[in-house]
Structure 1
Amino acid sequence: MPQLNSWIGSENTAVIHHWQYPVRTDQLWDALTQGAQLSKWLGEPRLANFEVGQLVEIQHATDYWCTCLIQRCDPAKLLIMTWKFPDENLSMLELRLAGNSTGTKLSLIHSQLSDQATNYFTGWQTHLQYLEDLLCGSPRPMADFWSLYEKLAAETKQVN
């Protein structure tokens, strides 16, 4: 797993993950923003126009949609958007990409999570593992998401 480091920060209201992926920045960007690839690691997109001021909607479960508003978009470098599930407060998601000699580093910062940081920590860890598998040519079935989530949550509890 190319997870470099991860933690819960900002008074337990933010989640930070740094991952290294063995692909070019444009390939990682496409996986983050293209509908066909989004459905293999994050959820099924209904709206996926990654331009400033546009809405993005992603279905994570039956009738359970996340709605995002794009705040900043610098292709293959930076994406900042709001993040909102119907039963949660609005939060902010920032994705930064930086190419290097071994591929691309992704920095994910999800802030303003109030009491949801612990759940999001493992949720993003699971989604980023799915992204890694997709980029390495071995996509996981989305039906296995919760079993991997539970495994990673148990591993995280052992470390803490």
Structure 2
Amino acid sequence: MPLSSLATEDDSLTISWLLAVPAQTVWAGFRDPALLSQWLGRPLVCDAKTGGMIVVDHGGGCLSRSVVTEADEPRRLAMTWDFPDEPDSQIAFALHPAESGTRMELVHNGLGSLVDSYGPGWVTHLTYLEAAVGGTPLPWSQFWPLHTSFEMLYGAADATAAAAPSR
């Protein structure tokens, strides 16, 4: 898992991830319904162009609805994030060439008090994205056990940071 950084500030989450594939291949993970279904959920609408919509069923009828606000293939995808019972927020994926493939930066703004809960979720989804674009999709039956592991690690890291003496 090439997670290179994860940070929260106020109501924003930023994750940097290294993927061993070109940016165009990562971009396919955003616009190809077959790949999107391997990492985010079942796409009901998948129109990853500026002004388009992406609607994903995350299971049990829980739908995320996004309006694409910027699509600059294969460099940047920005969209709204409307998830049930949560404040509306915004997501941006920026793709940068890297020596071994692509460095992706995900910024999720407007999360409010949910900012810390989104870290493990995005790390899990990005693990699935990495596998999907790498040609070895992970079974959905492993999503929640993996998510639980990331929650435990994320909580342990927060506890360690809180216990560290300030300088």
Distance 2:93 2:86 in 1: 20
Distance 2:70 2:114 in 1: 24
Distance 2:111 2:24 in 1: 29
Distance 1:131 1:30 in 2: 10
- Per the normalisation by structure 1, the TM-score is 0.95
Aligned residue for 1:61, secondary structure, equals coil
* Matched residue, 1:139: 137
Deviation at 1:116, TM superposition (A): 1.0
| Aligned with 2:98 (options 92, 96, 100) | 100
Distance 2:15 2:68 in 1: 20
Distance 1:130 1:55 in 2: 22
Contact 2:35/2:133 (<8 A) preserved:
no
Deviation at 1:35, TM superposition (A): 0.5
Q: Aligned-pair RMSD on alpha carbons? A: 1.0
Deviations 1:81-134, CA, capped at 9 Å, x for gaps: 000012111100000000122100000000000111111111001001111222
What amino acid does structure 1 have at the position aligned with 2:61?
A: D
Deviation at 1:42, TM superposition (A): 0.6
Alignment pair present for 1:25 and 2:23:
yes
* Matched residue, 2:3: 3
Please list, as runs of the form range in 1=range in 2, the aligned pairs for 1:39-50 lying within 5 A after superposition: 39-50=37-48
Deviation at 1:136, TM superposition (A): 2.9
Contact 2:78/2:93 (<8 A) preserved:
yes
- What runs of 5+ residues in structure 2 fail to find an aligned partner? 159-167
Between the aligned residues of both structures, percent identity stands at 28
Alignment pair present for 1:124 and 2:118:
no
| Aligned with 1:53 (options 51, 54, 62) | 51
Deviation at 1:155, TM superposition (A): 1.0
* Matched residue, 1:79: 77
Distance 2:116 2:8 in 1: 7
Deviations 1:22-49, CA, capped at 9 Å, x for gaps: 0011001001221100000111100000
What amino acid does structure 2 have at the position aligned with 1:147?
A: P
Runs of 4+ in 1 over 6 A off after TM superposition: none
What amino acid does structure 2 have at the position aligned with 1:84?
A: D
- What runs of 5+ residues in structure 1 fail to find an aligned partner? none
Deviation at 1:144, TM superposition (A): 1.6
Distance 1:55 1:135 in 2: 21
